[in-house]
Amino acid sequence: MYKKLVAGELSLVETFWKFGVLGSLLGFSIVWIFGGILVPQLHGYSIYAYYTQYYNPLRSGSDILLSTVCYLTSLGVFCAYLFSVVLGVWRSSAEYDKNVFFKYMSRIGIVFLAYLFLRIIF
């Protein structure tokens, strides 16, 4: 299924709505949940600042380390997923011949959706 998605072999409707909108909302929700768990543990510092200046492995528990790994892993997977979906929608819309308006609006919409999600996260 992943190969078909990236190659643009799925229908434009399925690729855009199923994988683009619903899949991105699900992925964003997972990143948001892990971020919500991590933020209170950082006490207002960035991840980099916390681990370079304030983290002490002898005094700090392993829960913040686990939360950080879960957050960064989910963020990396989500970014890779967004890239794959944008590529899939772009290629699928290239094969779409029914309506030129939907062809270009799907491209604009998926790039805007990816930008919006990444802008919210970062």
The average pLDDT across 20-49 equals: 95
Q: Which of 81, 79, 90 is nearest to 10 (CA)?
A: 90
pTM of the full predicted structure? 0.87
pLDDT tens digits, 96-108 = 888 899 989 999 9
**Domain-located, residue 9:** no
- Can you tell me whether residue 60 is helix, strand or coil? coil
Distance CA 118, CA 96 (A): 27
Sequence letter at residue 79? C
Counting the structural domains of the chain, the total is: 1
Distance CA 18, CA 20 (A): 6
**Domain-located, residue 6:** no
Is it the case that residue 20 has pLDDT exceeding 80?
yes
Q: What is the mean pLDDT of the chain?
A: 92
Instruction: Give the torsion through C-alpha atoms of 23, 29, 30, 31, to 10 deg.
Output: 110
pLDDT tens digits, 51-91 = 999 888 888 778 999 999 999 999 999 999 999 999 999 99
Give residue 111's domain range. Answer: 16-121
**Domain-located, residue 113:** yes
